[in-house]
Amino acid sequence: MKRRKDFKEYLSHVAKQMILIHDADLLSKMIIRTVTRTLGVKYSGLFLYDKNSQEYIINVSSGKKGLKIPVGFAKIKNTRPIIKFFSDNNLLPDEKKDYLLDSEIKTFKRKYKNDKKIIDFIYNLENDISLYHAKLIVPGFFRNNLLVVFFIGNKTDGKKFTKGEIDFLTVLSSDVVMAIENAKLFEDTKQQLEENKRLLLNTVEALANAIDVKNEYTHGHAERVTKYSMIIAKYIPKHLKVAYQSFEDSLKIAALLHDIGKIGIPENILNKPSSLTKSEMDMIKKHPVMGAEILEPINEFKIISLGVKYHHERYDGRGYPYNLLGDEIPLIASIISVADAYDAMSSDRPYRKPMRKNEIVKEIISNKNKQFSPVVVDAFMQTVTFNEI
């Protein structure tokens, strides 16, 4: 009774651990380690169904040299007797199918000795079992589909498997199937999200390039500002970034799109080689708000729009469009502000030559607590120290 209680408690413990693991390979290793240690067996292996090849492939195994099978080395076709025994209800329909002990083969031989077709199947089944040094095989089903097969070898103490141990494995196999399916679903979802993220970034980069094309003096500006922003962000204290969800991802998109509002600015103003009139400058100053309005319908871009809307605000409150002061300016916008200024000063313009790096650094330092956030300037100086910008 105590042994059964221990198995029940251990199953509960293992199930809780499995729920937390979203990596199918890591989960498989944990399961095999659990089986090997709990039952004290010389060998155990876990085969997972691969729907593309329609085979059961060894995912993980444990055992001494000569018993342990390398990952992916062993494959069992779904037409093999060891698989058919569990998956085909027309074969040996009177026999239990929730596990198979190698010792049962003798019983099958006696029971079906007069049926040549079945006896041939049983001999082939015996060959499959011996091939994998198995004393006990336990299947795992998901919606009537056989997805997992445990191959368990001899116990180290030489004893037979008890009913409690077999029950432990049959219940564990059901939990394993659910956990692996959940892990695969998590991995598939993560992969899809990564693919969506990649497509989004490609679209954003294409849009940023379209903005740059409008202004003949700023080719590559968005990409450079993004590059500088991401480098600066590495040196921003972590506690300031935790308030943002996926800070680096949001910063990257915001930096790429920080001038998206210039789509609405006439090209003759953007490309004017001489000084702008007051009305033209007023038009230019509208681009942060226009950019934010373009992004407003996209719910997922709420944080991103902050960088677009406020990247021309100044720490001393003399910026535009809202004259925000100090920490009223979102961090994401303050980083883009410094990166934007650095690129502007280091780029060639029709009305001036690019500034030297040491001159730009002095200019940014002199505007600490004025145009720029002190936190961002300090982070920028770190990039200079390590020669990253």
321 cis-preceded (ω within 30 degrees of 0): yes
- Cα dihedral sign, 297-198-223-213: negative
Cβ-proximal residues to 55 (8 Å cutoff; 6+ apart), any chain: 49, 75, 76, 77, 78
Q: Of 185, 218, 233, which one is at a domain's C-terminal end?
A: 185
Per-residue pLDDT of 41-95, as tens digits, reads 988 989 999 988 999 998 888 876 555 666 667 899 999 999 999 999 888 988 8
The whole-number pLDDT of residue 284 equals 93
Domain encompassing residue 43:
2-185
Sheet of strand 43-50, all strands in order from the earlier edge strand to the far edge: 75-77, 55-63, 43-50, 145-152, 136-142, 100-101
Q: Is the pLDDT reported for residue 1 higher than 50?
A: no
Q: The domain spanning residue 64 has which CATH number?
A: 3.30.450.40
Per-residue pLDDT of 165-180, as tens digits, reads 898 888 888 888 888 8
The count of domains in the chain is: 2
Residues 212 and 176 occupy one common structural domain = no
Residues 178 and 201 occupy one common structural domain = no
Q: The domain spanning residue 203 has which CATH number?
A: 1.10.3210.10
What's the pTM? 0.60
**Coil/strand/helix, residue 58:** strand
Residues 12 and 145 occupy one common structural domain = yes
Residues 96 and 207 occupy one common structural domain = no
The whole-number pLDDT of residue 278 equals 94
Residues 290 and 368 occupy one common structural domain = yes
Residues 152 and 286 occupy one common structural domain = no
Mean pLDDT of 103-111: 94
**Residue 130 in domain:** yes
**Residue 190 in domain:** no
Separation CA 314–CA 181 (nearest Å) = 52
Residues 120 and 227 occupy one common structural domain = no
